[in-house]
Chain A
Amino acid sequence: MPGALLDYTVNGLIVGNIYMLLAVGLALIFGVSHLINFAHGSVYAVGAFIGWSAIHYLSTPLPATMLLVMVGCAVIGLAIERLGLRPLQNAPRIAPLLATIGISLVLDQLLQLVFGADPRSLPSQLPNWRIHLGGGTIGALDLLIFGIGVASAALLFGFLRFTKLGWAVRATALDRDAAKQVGVNVDAVNQLVFAIASALGGLSGLLVGMYYNTIDAGMGFQATLKGVVALLIGGMGNVPGAVVGSLLLGLIESYGIALFGTTYRNLFAFALLLIFLVFRPNGLFSNNRRPPPEPLTGTFVPPTSPVALPAWALAALAVAALALPLVIRNAYALQVLTNAWLYGILAVGLTLISGTVGLISLGHAGLLAIGGYASALLALDLGLPVAASVPLAGLVAALLGTALAFPAFRLRGHYVSIATLGMGEVVALVILNWESLTRGPLGVSGIPPLEIAGQPIYSPQGQYWLALIVMLLLAALQSRLLSSHLGRTWRAIREDDVAARSYGISLNRYKALAFGFGAFLAGVAGALTAHVYSYINFETFDSTLSILALTMVILGGMGNVIGAVFAAIALIALPEIFRGAADYRMLIYGVVLLLLIRFRPQGLMGTV
């Protein structure tokens, strides 16, 4: 047993060192630019694949592989700074965050297009000996990772503390404008920080690949999450804190796996995430229980005048959409459009949460999943009719979603995004692990079809009409709420929560109302999807859907109900017209998101 304990400790420290290489970079970037770089994990994945290519095609020795990885990733880091940060310096604080999400999507998709989705093995180039120590063992790779972790932490510490450039980085972190005043080239500092952070991130990817002997194009997302958790534990922007946070996270995961099993690995990270967000939003080393007074307000709303469509035009469009199946008889086209209406429901709900109230949610796929599973299981296990299970699933999503997101309501800006991201992951993990309820990795099959008055609907026309009518009804209901006192109250919270509070607006109550309503829509969308597909599993609603939904919201114009529907059609139906583009679809979404944030943050129809 002591041997096993030692093994778990060593494993925890190794994994902690890997997280550290990630988290230190995130902390540096957050320090100088107040930005959580959501593309950091993608750089880490790119690093792993650069390493694989170097070993595979060039047969480079290990030091050369590491050098290539670091240089390659540093260049990518520079590109991220140039594309994602610098042009958006004067934009609302949330804009660069969304840009890094877009960049992450683009990088992940490029990796997948070049290398395919299947995992590859990354051979360790180290000798295979292990030191036996008190019953446990330590291998050469363990020592290498450990050494690289400690060395890079020490180098970074020395750099920040003793070099002029390091002082410039710290000065920029403390007060960007003042640093500019005294002649620090802030852009150069940002570039340097992104280059260093990305080089370390890429190295981390290479080492992980060697440690687990497998890499895949989707590995970046989890890495970003782990890095962010470690960052949060240590306190945002605190480099030594990130080191401690990473080691702690690694150890907790390792001991947790020892006690509960591997499938729970990620759950510990997100439990920690939620605990820290609730109790210590400033990290381990700050006693201040309040979240920091943010320069990062959550809104993404430049002053605009929305495009107002007259009521007759909307009615005409709705009638035209309803009449479409009479003209189009192609089943595939109708299925695509049905899908667009289902996404429309999701986007309409999300535009309320993220657009009208300003809570940027990155975990909406989790709500879809709750809705899908709830309806499927209510229908299958309890034998409820689909007409009852779908709205009930919406309520379940609203209740669970609001409860999960509740800790985030007193937070703002980036913290909300992190918390909802954690919420989405927790849902996915619970679905995967709670086998007695969700059937675990097998998924749920044989889900009954949609029905009206007991009549099952199999025809594409019927599904199209049902999805469209549900969407129209929910969109109309939301528009009605927005025209009541609730609408102005929600928007007031987004615009200035301090002033809103001063006039008696309870932030928790109205954020919960908006989140609950939006989550209801997401749950209904997920439920309808489950009944249309007849089979769902834990991957049906994967986290890229959250980003896709957010892209729709931004494309339509934040808070704009009509815009959200148009955006859903544009992003779901239009790519189908370009048949050959199917593989590039997610890539296109990422590029669309980036271009929007840069050139048309008010979206197609304008912010409401």
Chain B
Amino acid sequence: MSALSPNDTEAKPVASPLAAAPAKAAALIEANGLTRRFGGLTAVDAVDLAAAEGEFVSVIGPNGAGKTTLFNLITGLDRPDAGRVLYAAEDITAMPPKALAARRMARTFQHGRVFANLSVIDNVLIGAHARLSAARPRLGALAELALAAWRPAALRREEEALRREATDILRIFGERLLPRLDHPAHSLSYANRRRVEIARALALSPRLLLLDEPTAGMNPTETREMLEIIRDLKGRGLTILLIEHKLDMVMELSDRIIVMDNGRVIAQGKPAEVRHDPQVIEAYLGRAHRSAETEATAGGKRAGAAP
């Protein structure tokens, strides 16, 4: 904890000098040569990635391409074997997730990780944890305990303000979650749990938001709705990294797309460029095509050989 506190004090003044920096160097998040090996498998292989402030960058690629591992490396849940990550011109490679939350980096998880026995509103409020004045790491743990028991007026006001803010965040999903503020998250539909997760990420008031398949398991209407919400977030100037399999959504939203396969970046560029990149087509269609064919023929042979 003590090792962290100097970093936490540095976190705040970072925002202002960045605004004055030249556009080229203004990458809010930048990964260089990021590599992660699991035994013999290189899940992420020397990946470079950058997103400028306000930019919307999508990471696409077949299952197992290393997208989620890349997210885990950026968000501090996993450590790279090589390479580094810069965030707002600061090296964050070895930082634990809580230091990144203090720097307002928020993420959602591929399979959804809502807190099942917490109410909807509490789930969202956990997102604001890094902003609580009582939970500041510099304030000792015992002081936090005393504050939680005593609850001075300032603390109560802060909690109420956060509660209102959390309700406002949930309002972006219309009436889907507002009537369920006090329901435990385990009672929600799958799509609603994904929404709660996004609301929780927004409660951090993030500078950088990483969305890992936010529409997985959603039907077309719900996907459309989610697309509009993400578009709206983009419109507010949030820097967003998105992992998504629904390509029309990716094409519609992204400023830039990074295509991964087998842990490596095989293409990147504007949606229109990536769409026609032969390597991308091969990764997505060609190989799938081919493997489907070979499987079919193999199956055919087997079927033929059986009698």
Q: Which residues of A contact B (CB under 8 A)?
A: 301, 303-305, 477, 480-481, 484-486, 488-489, 491-492, 494-496, 498-506, 508-509, 512-513, 517, 607-608
Tell whether, in the assembled complex, residue B149 and residue A477 are in contact, meaning their CB atoms are under 8 Å apart: yes
Q: Which residue of B lies closest to A508 (CB)?
A: B1
Residue B130 interfacial (CB < 8 Å): yes
Tell whether, in the assembled complex, residue B77 and residue A485 are in contact, meaning their CB atoms are under 8 Å apart: no
Q: Which residues of B contact A502 (CB under 8 A)?
A: 75, 77, 97, 101, 106-107
Q: Which residues of B contact A (CB under 8 A)?
A: 1, 75, 77, 96-98, 100-102, 106-107, 109, 113-118, 122, 125-127, 129-130, 132, 134-135, 137, 141, 144-145, 148-149, 151, 159, 184, 186-187, 200, 204
Q: Which residue of B lies closest to A509 (CB)?
A: B141
For A503, give its contact among B134, B148, B200 (CB under 8 Å): B200
Known: A481-B145, A491-B118, A501-B97. Contact between A506 and B77, CB under 8 A?
Answer: no
Tell whether, in the assembled complex, residue B148 and residue A504 are in contact, meaning their CB atoms are under 8 Å apart: no
Tell whether, in the assembled complex, residue B184 and residue A303 are in contact, meaning their CB atoms are under 8 Å apart: yes
- 20 residue pairs bridging A and B, Cβ less than 8 Å apart: A484-B159, A485-B125, A485-B129, A488-B125, A488-B126, A489-B129, A492-B115, A495-B116, A496-B113, A501-B96, A502-B107, A503-B127, A503-B129, A503-B204, A504-B129, A509-B137, A509-B141, A509-B144, A513-B145, A517-B145
CB distance from B191 to the nearest CB of A (A): 18
Tell whether, in the assembled complex, residue B115 and residue A499 are in contact, meaning their CB atoms are under 8 Å apart: yes
Q: Which residues of A contact B129 (CB under 8 A)?
A: 485, 489, 503-505
Q: How far is the CA of A417 from the CA of B67 in the complex (A)?
A: 36
Q: Which residues of B contact A498 (CB under 8 A)?
A: 77, 109, 113
Tell whether, in the assembled complex, residue B98 and residue A484 are in contact, meaning their CB atoms are under 8 Å apart: no
Q: Which residue of A lies closest to B119 (CB)?
A: A488
Tell whether, in the assembled complex, residue B186 and residue A303 are in contact, meaning their CB atoms are under 8 Å apart: yes
Q: Which residues of A contact B127 (CB under 8 A)?
A: 503
CB distance from B126 to the nearest CB of A (A): 5
Tell whether, in the assembled complex, residue A488 and residue B118 are in contact, meaning their CB atoms are under 8 Å apart: yes
Q: Which residues of A contact B134 (CB under 8 A)?
A: 485
Known: A303-B186, A499-B113. Contact between A505 and B126, CB under 8 A?
Answer: yes
Tell whether, in the assembled complex, residue B186 and residue A489 are in contact, meaning their CB atoms are under 8 Å apart: no
Q: Which residue of B lies closest to A512 (CB)?
A: B141
Q: How far is the CA of A485 from the CA of B145 in the complex (A)?
A: 10
Q: Which residue of A lies closest to B127 (CB)?
A: A503
Tell whether, in the assembled complex, residue A485 and residue B102 are in contact, meaning their CB atoms are under 8 Å apart: no
Q: Which residues of B contact A512 (CB under 8 A)?
A: 141
Q: Which residues of B contact A505 (CB under 8 A)?
A: 98, 126, 129
Nearest 3 Cβ contacts at the A-B interface: A504-B101, A504-B130, A495-B115
CB distance from B67 to the nearest CB of A (A): 17
Tell whether, in the assembled complex, residue B130 and residue A481 are in contact, meaning their CB atoms are under 8 Å apart: no
Q: How far is the CA of A494 from the CA of B122 in the complex (A)?
A: 14
Q: How far is the CA of A14 from the CA of B145 in the complex (A)?
A: 51
Q: Which residue of A lies closest to B75 (CB)?
A: A502
Q: Which residue of B lies closest to A499 (CB)?
A: B113
Tell whether, in the assembled complex, residue A499 and residue B109 are in contact, meaning their CB atoms are under 8 Å apart: yes
CB distance from B73 to the nearest CB of A (A): 13
CB distance from B251 to the nearest CB of A (A): 28
Known: A303-B186, A513-B144, A517-B145. Contact between A491 and B117, CB under 8 A?
Answer: yes
Which of B115, B126, B200 counts the most A-chain CB atoms under 10 A from its CB?
Answer: B126
Q: Which residues of B contact A481 (CB under 8 A)?
A: 145, 148-149
Tell whether, in the assembled complex, residue B97 and residue A485 are in contact, meaning their CB atoms are under 8 Å apart: no
For B1, give its contact among A485, A486, A509, A517 (CB under 8 Å): A509
Q: How far is the CA of A488 from the CA of B116 in the complex (A)?
A: 12
Q: How far is the CA of A508 from the CA of B1 in the complex (A)?
A: 9
Given A498-B113, A509-B137, A607-B117, 18 new contacts (CB under 8 A): A301-B117, A303-B184, A484-B159, A485-B135, A485-B148, A485-B159, A488-B122, A488-B125, A489-B135, A492-B115, A495-B115, A499-B109, A501-B98, A502-B107, A503-B97, A503-B200, A504-B100, A608-B117
